Amino acid sequence: MASATASISSHSVSLRDLKAARVGAVKQQVAAVPARSQRARAVRPLRAAEPARQPVSASAASAPAAPVAEEATAAAAAPAPAVDYDALAQELQGASPLEIMDRALALFGSDIAIAFSGAEDAALIEYAKLTGRPFRVFSLDTGRLNPETYQLFDKVEKHYGVHIEYTFPDAGEVQELVRAKGLFSFYEDGHQECCRVRKVRPLRRALRGLRAWITGQRKDQSPGTRASIPVVQVDPSFEGLDGGAGSLIKWNPVANVEGKDVWTFLRTMDVPVNALHAQGYVSIGCEPCTRPVLPGQHEREGRWWWEDAKAKECGLHKGNIDKEGQAAHKAGGVNGGNGTGGAGVPDIFQSHDVVSLTRAGVENLMRLENRAEPWLVVLYAPWCPFCQAMEASYVELAEKLAGGGSGSSSGVKVAKFRADGDQKAFAQAELQLQSFPTILLFPSRTARPIKYPSERRDVDSLLAFVNSLR
């Protein structure tokens, strides 16, 4: 496939490019522009300050100025009209990523840059190239990235003729953390401290040299925390070049695009991607904190897998965490027989083959030492994206164990117990709950339940677990 770069350099965009660039269903012609050199795109370092203004001499101040010069000076001094970014977000809600990217680059010129690390960000660079406008790219090198990620950086620079502006953590802060707590302290006390040193603080320094930045956040990446991302916003967490609240604008061109459509675009446009994607990795971060995603798992489950689902954010986008949704998750509390608690959060695992247990039902199940049949129970929270990801496989398993319409039941009961809110402490103390989802098998002749040890939640793996212990 001819590269998209070749299409631009020949001053034409093929029908394939136009069709692929319209993820989001917005038609837009791409203006043909002459190819730009790598030097032309490296406009200014991220941390560059505004050029200092020279003082006006007394003689120059007293000399009469031409009317045209006065008008030009007045025009240059006039402040730019204020932009209502909430209204702009509404205006662009149905726009394609290409249109959103074009608007961002047109508004901010060399004062905006694309944050690059993964697949969505590679798509952003392709969209930026298709606009025909100059653009900048920066990336955080944490010092713990996979070799394949560094190889991707090199491929992207060569493919697009851009110079990625790398930002690094403070060496003294990294040294202090590692000397005090070791190289892998995040496995014991959480990833937030390491991410603050290696990612959040370097990003904060980098953004102080910009007035806007462009990210690859999508709403479907993490439904529990990113479901309300707008396509453009005043950044709620970081400051820009002018300093103070409201000094930085954040653009999220693919916020409304599903992951599968991003990948269709990447393949169609022959965009370079991380070689780890072919090995089962979906969301890719630092090497110690990233692993392949297993069947039935949500893409973010490959990140910080030893922590609870709601903690799977590094802090770069903390301002986009849906706090109202998290409050609903915590309040969606007392588990009753109807299984619909939690304001605005629909229940999951809805099937006549899945029994909805109350706490009293679970306690009765625990007291029985000789059960008539084994019970498979999932401890879940309906807001958890990892529970949502395994819903289809768990319901299918329940149907199979119930006989699947054949009339021959396996003799295994399949159930669910909502274990968040007020029930979480009980589930942690009595049901081995550490994170959602947790799957337990209550054998027919053993009082204590057996916890499913694997994170493979496909039908065959769950069925093998049940059959080995029934």
Tens of pLDDT, residues 349-381: 999 999 999 999 999 998 887 788 899 999 999
Instruction: Determine the pLDDT at residue 51.
Output: 37
Question: Token digits for 85?
Answer: 């970014």
Radius of gyration from C-alpha coordinates of the chain: 27
CB 255 within 8 A of CB 230: yes
Whole-angstrom distance, CA of residue 238 vs CA of residue 234: 9
240-265 burial, b at 16+ Cβ within 10 Å, e below that, comes to bbeeeeebbbbbbbbbbbebebbbeb
Instruction: Determine the pLDDT at residue 48.
Output: 39
Instruction: Determine the pLDDT at residue 35.
Output: 41
What residues are labeled active site?
384, 387
Sign of the Cα torsion 236, 331, 394, 426 reads positive
Whole-angstrom distance, CA of residue 62 vs CA of residue 241: 34
Whole-angstrom distance, CA of residue 254 vs CA of residue 345: 24
In what helix (H) or strand (E) does residue 413 lie, and over which residues does it extend? strand 413-418
Spell out the per-residue pLDDT of the chain, length 470, in tens: 433 333 333 333 343 444 444 444 333 333 333 444 343 343 344 543 333 333 333 333 334 444 434 444 444 444 456 899 999 999 999 999 999 999 999 999 999 999 998 767 899 999 999 999 999 999 999 999 999 999 999 999 999 999 999 999 999 999 999 999 999 888 887 888 888 999 999 999 999 999 999 999 988 765 555 567 999 999 988 999 998 888 999 999 999 998 889 999 999 999 999 999 888 888 888 988 888 877 666 666 777 776 755 544 444 545 554 444 444 444 333 233 333 344 467 899 999 999 999 999 999 998 887 788 899 999 999 988 788 888 888 999 999 998 754 545 678 999 999 999 999 999 999 999 988 999 999 988 776 899 998 878 888 889 999 988 87
Terminal Cα-to-Cα distance of the chain (whole angstroms):
53
pTM over cut 0.75:
no
Instruction: Determine the pLDDT at residue 223.
Output: 53
Cα dist from 269 to 7, 21, 122, 354, whole Å:
10, 8, 11, 44
Whole-angstrom distance, CA of residue 114 vs CA of residue 119: 13
| The pairing of beta strand 232-234 with beta strand 212-214 | unpaired
